[in-house]
Each structure stands twice: as structure tokens, then as C-alpha cells.
């Protein structure tokens, strides 16, 4: 049964599939019968093909969307055996991200990415819209973000260096267009407004929101900067709440991401008001001050009916609880993300060594991504599994859409198959991906070729050295050399 089923070209692979009759039946003329059935799992579907009809059952619009997509995929085979598929997602949250702060992309390119992600049944688009290197979301009430924050005077990201100013900003109409496009494809859009760190573009626009109040530039290089928001200044909260009011008005979905990663606390340590705030609150350290800040912003959003996602560093201060936030884990943080999950918290898993897609395959072979078991460490801690899975891509080193695609594909598909469930074997995934590859090519999306996806260990060394040159860390090197 299984061997015959493996001829199907579907990604993610169906969880349950059975051949129920004759082989090699023409699919082209088969009729389609749609049945709404509340007994089918959320976002799930069944398809029964008896040679004459595709009988499709689903309980909701997502199930219908994925079922029809699957019928189309099977029809491209021209002939199929009579079969029955039952399918439903392993994870409710199945994400893909795009960093438009370091390098931005056109609305048309983003729509192509969304089409590809929807094809792999991903249902959350995490859109990184603000960072040290640029502010990309139009905010009517804070015009300097649009005028000053959206421009850097040049770009110097390792391989690419460009002396010309770089400007990009999504208008509200463009954002609404992308949201509508996602909705039609059963995808929720989660904007990320990264605070209190990664804030150079905010401070370049409104320097009084920093501890020193000194002028700052939108950054032209990759890095972690000390340009962070002053958390003891009420004007910072007034500013943020104004921005977030507009963000909430634009994005009609459940979640807003408020960042909270890579926040050095030096500015707060040097700020008399931030030091006083820490003492007045009896906090042990400045990481707790970050926790207090994130909690206040989360509470503001909660009162507006939203839920909040933060990067896992925000847990460090021990302030945030499962009632306050959903956590996105990418690296480190000791066991806190797993403990948070064990305490009933929702955690989205985006492990750096497996699910970061902006690294060469020499550093993270595709097989290593495919074979990763995201629930393993959660199970060990007694939490069973994370709430969600997300593919990450950052664009310091990616300045055009074709390069973005060669990094993102097929890794996005491998992560999507873990998120939906139904993984088979890496070899089988590779065979199935050949059909997806053809389809993506027709959409103008070129994937990394098979020969580049899994280099032998010796050929991987230059990629690894290149990346870590300057900050070679033996622990990280060991994690990278692992193949699974
Ligand atoms: C991150 O990669 N700084 C979340
Ligand atoms: Zn301060």
C-alpha cells in the first residue's frame, strides 16, 4: 500500500492514505463532489477517488481550500489509483516569515511567496517590518517613521555593499492588498514591530525616545545595537500605543509580534531614570526590566483584543507568564522556552540550527532540517509539543527575490511538512519535491538545486567558516556540523 502511495506528488504528504481499487485511472475527467461535514477535523479533509468522482469532505474553509489544492496536485499526475486520503494538521500554527527591514521586496514578489507557502499549507505569515536597518510600515500619526525611518544612507552587509541610499515603505493600501491576498489563501498575517531593541530606525526618527536622546542613524550594517527605547519614559509608551493602534486597525488577525530579541541593556544601565525604575520595582536585573516593558505593551494589546508574540529572550527576566504572551523560540535562553511550554505556555518553534532559512546549505544541510523533530525537547520536558512551527528568513545577506527563493526553497517545504505532519523519508521528500519545484518555477520561484542541498562535510567547511569568521564559537560549530 505504502509503496504505491509514495507515487503521489503531494507536499505535505497525507497522514492517512489507502489505495482502494484499480490502478492507473484517468483523473482529468473525474467529477468533483464537495461535502461539508462538521465531523472532519479543523482544517482537515478527506478525499475519496473511486475512478469517476473526487468526493471531498471538509468542516471549514481551510479544509476545503487544502482539499481542492490536493486534488489539483493529484490531477497533474494524469493517472492515479483509486484512493482515499484523510488529512489534518499536526500544528494549528504553521508559519513562514519574511524580513523586509534589511531588504524589502515588491508586493508582487511577496504575493508569489504567499502563493508558494499556501501551497505547502502554511497559515501564518510573520512579517518583520521594523528593525535597526529600516522602518517599513506607513504610520499616519508618526510621519518621521515614514520619512526618516524608512531610509538608510547606504548598505554594507558583508558581500553586498551599495553606496546609494536605500528606501522602502509599505503604504497602508499595499498592506491591505497583501492581507486580502493572504485571507483568500487561509493565511493570517502577523506584523512584527520589534521593540525595545532593534530600534535604530525609531530613534533616528524620534531620538527623544532613547535613554540618551542623542541623534541616531538608521543602520547600514548587520549587528546588535545599543539603540533601544527608554522604558522609564512615558512618552515611549504614548508613542508605541499610537503606532500599535494603527497596526491593530490594519491587521485584523489574532496576533501582533512585538519582538523583544537581542536587546542589550547597556543604555538602561547608564540611564538614571531606567535605573531608578528598576530599583523602585525591586527588580533583580535589567532583563526583568525588559519583561516589565513587554508585559505593559502586551497588556495594552490584550485590552484591544489582541494576543502577543515575543522572541524567547523576553522570558529571561522571569516576568512574563503564559497568560501574558506566546513565545517564539529561536536560540538559547537556557530551558526557559521549554519550561514555559511545560507551564502551559504557547511556544512557536523556529530553531536556529534547523529552521533558519537564510543560511547556506553548507551550514545547515536540507536533510538536517527535514529530519528535525521539533517536539523532541518539549516531550523531554513534559510539554508534549510546541504550539507552532515557523520557517524564518532574514535578509541582511539577501537583497533580491531570486536569491531569497534559492535560500527559502525547498527548506520552507521541509519545515511545512513538519508543521502539517505526515513526514515520510528525506529521500521520498526529495522525489516529491520535484513536482513542487516545477510548479514553483512556473510561478517564477527557483529552488536550490538538488546537488547543492546536502554537501559532504568537507565541502561544508568553507560555508561554516565564512559565516562564523570573526565570531567563531566552538559550541555553535559543533551544532552546525551535526547532520541531523
Ligand atoms: C532573531 O533571529 N534575532 C530572532
Ligand atoms: Zn532610559
pLDDT at residue 95 in the model: 99
Question: At residue 156, what are phi and psi to the nearest 5 degrees?
Answer: -145, 75
CB of 262 shorter than 6 A to ligand 1: yes
CB of 355 shorter than 6 A to ligand 1: no
CB of 222 shorter than 6 A to ligand 1: no
pLDDT at residue 473 in the model: 60
pLDDT at residue 276 in the model: 98
pLDDT at residue 76 in the model: 86
Q: Which ligand minimizes its atom distance to the CA of 234?
A: 2
pLDDT at residue 6 in the model: 46
CB of 331 shorter than 6 A to ligand 1: no
Residue nearest to atom 1 of ligand 1 (CA): 261
Q: Which ligand minimizes its atom distance to the CA of 309?
A: 1
pLDDT tens track for 191-238? 999 999 999 999 999 999 999 999 999 999 999 999 999 999 999 999
CB of 217 shorter than 6 A to ligand 1: no
Q: Mutate which of 262, 315, 476 to test ligand 1's pocket (most atoms within 8 Å of Cβ)?
A: 262
CB of 330 shorter than 6 A to ligand 1: yes
CA of 229 to the centre of ligand 2 (A): 7
pLDDT tens track for 259-315? 999 999 999 999 999 999 999 999 999 999 999 999 999 999 999 999 999 999 999
pLDDT at residue 104 in the model: 98
CA of 196 to the centre of ligand 2 (A): 11
Q: Mutate which of 190, 199, 394 to test ligand 1's pocket (most atoms within 8 Å of Cβ)?
A: 394
CB of 352 shorter than 6 A to ligand 1: no
CA of 343 to the centre of ligand 1 (A): 24
CA of 261 to the centre of ligand 1 (A): 6
pLDDT tens track for 144-177? 999 999 999 999 987 678 999 999 999 999 999 9
CB of 246 shorter than 6 A to ligand 1: no
Q: Which atom of ligand 1 is nearest to the CA of 392?
A: 2
Residue nearest to atom 2 of ligand 1 (CA): 330
Going residue by residue through the chain (484 aa), what tens digit of pLDDT does each one get? 344 444 678 999 999 999 999 988 999 999 999 999 999 999 999 999 999 999 999 999 999 999 999 999 999 888 999 999 999 999 999 999 999 999 999 999 999 999 999 999 999 999 999 999 999 999 999 999 999 999 999 999 876 789 999 999 999 999 999 999 999 999 999 999 999 999 999 999 999 999 999 999 999 999 999 999 999 999 999 999 999 999 999 999 999 999 999 999 999 999 999 999 999 999 999 999 999 999 999 999 999 999 999 999 999 999 999 999 999 999 875 679 999 999 999 999 999 999 999 999 999 999 999 999 999 989 988 889 999 999 999 999 999 999 999 999 999 999 999 999 989 999 999 999 999 999 999 999 999 999 999 988 888 888 777 777 645 466 666 666 665 4
pLDDT at residue 3 in the model: 46
Q: Which ligand minimizes its atom distance to the CA of 229?
A: 2
Residue nearest to atom 4 of ligand 1 (CA): 261
Residue nearest to atom 3 of ligand 1 (CA): 261
CA of 251 to the centre of ligand 2 (A): 30
Amino acid at each position: 500500500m505504502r509503496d504505491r502511495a509514495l507515487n503521489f506528488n503531494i507536499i505535505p504528504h497525507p497522514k492517512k492514505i489507502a489505495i482502494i481499487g484499480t490502478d492507473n485511472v484517468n483523473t482529468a475527467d473525474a467529477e468533483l463532489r464537495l461535502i461539508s461535514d462538521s465531523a472532519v477535523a479543523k482544517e482537515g479533509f478527506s478525499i475519496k477517488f473511486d475512478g469517476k468522482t473526487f468526493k471531498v469532505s471538509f468542516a471549514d474553509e481551510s479544509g476545503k481550500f487544502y482539499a481542492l489544492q490536493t486534488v489539483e496536485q493529484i490531477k497533474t499526475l494524469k493517472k492515479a489509483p483509486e484512493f482515499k486520503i484523510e488529512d489534518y494538521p499536526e500544528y494549528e500554527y504553521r508559519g513562514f516569515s519574511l524580513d523586509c527591514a534589511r531588504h524589502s521586496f515588491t508586493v508582487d514578489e511577496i504575493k508569489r511567496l504567499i502563493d508558494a507557502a499556501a501551497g505547502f499549507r502554511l497559515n501564518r505569515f510573520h512579517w518583520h517590518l521594523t528593525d535597526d536597518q529600516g522602518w517599513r510600515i506607513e504610520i499616519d500619526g508618526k510621519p518621521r517613521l515614514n520619512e526618516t525611518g524608512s531610509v538608510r544612507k547606504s548598505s554594507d552587509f558583508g558581500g553586498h555593499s551599495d553606496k546609494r541610499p536605500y528606501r522602502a515603505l509599505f503604504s497602508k493600501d499595499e498592506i491591505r492588498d497583501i492581507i486580502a491576498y493572504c485571507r483568500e489563501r487561509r493565511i493570517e498575517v502577523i506584523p512584527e514591530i520589534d521593540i525595545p531593541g532593534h530600534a535604530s530606525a525609531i530613534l533616528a526618527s524620534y531620538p527623544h525616545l532613547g535613554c540618551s536622546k542623542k541623534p541616531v542613524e538608521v543602520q547600514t550594517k548587520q549587528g546588535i545595537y545599543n539603540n533601544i527605547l527608554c522604558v522609564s519614559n512615558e512618552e515611549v509608551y504614548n508613542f508605541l500605543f499610537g503606532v500599535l493602534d494603527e497596526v491593530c486597525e490594519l491587521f485584523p488577525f489574532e496576533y501582533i509580534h512585538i519582538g523583544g530579541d537581542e536587546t542589550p541593556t547597556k543604555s538602561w544601565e547608564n540611564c538614571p531614570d531606567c535605573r531608578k525604575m528598576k530599583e523602585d520595582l525591586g527588580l533583580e536585573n535589567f532583563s526583568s526590566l525588559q519583561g516589565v516593558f513587554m508585559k505593559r505593551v502586551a497588556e495594552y494589546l490584550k485590552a484591544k483584543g489582541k494576543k502577543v508574540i515575543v522572541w524567547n529572550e523576553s522570558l529571561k527576566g522571569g516576568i512574563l507568564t503564559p497568560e501574558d504572551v506566546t513565545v517564539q523560540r529561536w536560540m538559547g535562553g537556557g530551558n526557559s522556552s521549554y519550561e514555559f511550554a511545560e507551564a502551559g505556555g504557547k511556544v512557536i518553534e523556529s530553531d536556529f540550527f534547523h529552521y533558519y532559512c537564510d543560511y547556506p546549505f553548507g551550514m545547515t544541510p536540507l536533510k538536517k532540517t527535514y529530519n528535525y523533530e521539533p517536539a523532541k525537547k518539549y516531550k523531554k520536558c513534559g510539554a508534549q509539543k510546541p504550539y507552532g512551527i515557523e520557517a524564518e528568513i532574514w535578509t541582511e545577506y539577501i537583497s533580491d527575490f531570486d536569491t531569497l527563493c534559492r535560500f527559502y526553497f525547498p527548506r520552507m517545504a521541509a519545515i511545512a511538512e513538519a508543521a502539517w505532519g505526515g513526514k515520510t523519508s528525506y529521500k521520498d521528500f526529495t522525489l516529491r519535491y520535484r513536482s513542487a519545484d516545477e510548479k514553483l518555477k512556473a510561478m517564477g520561484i527557483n529552488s536550490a538545486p538538488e546537488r547543492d542541498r546536502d554537501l559532504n562535510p568537507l565541502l561544508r567547511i568553507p560555508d561554516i567558516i565564512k559565516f562564523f569568521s570573526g565570531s567563531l564559537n566552538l559550541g555553535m560549530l559543533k551544532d552546525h556540523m551535526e547532520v541531523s
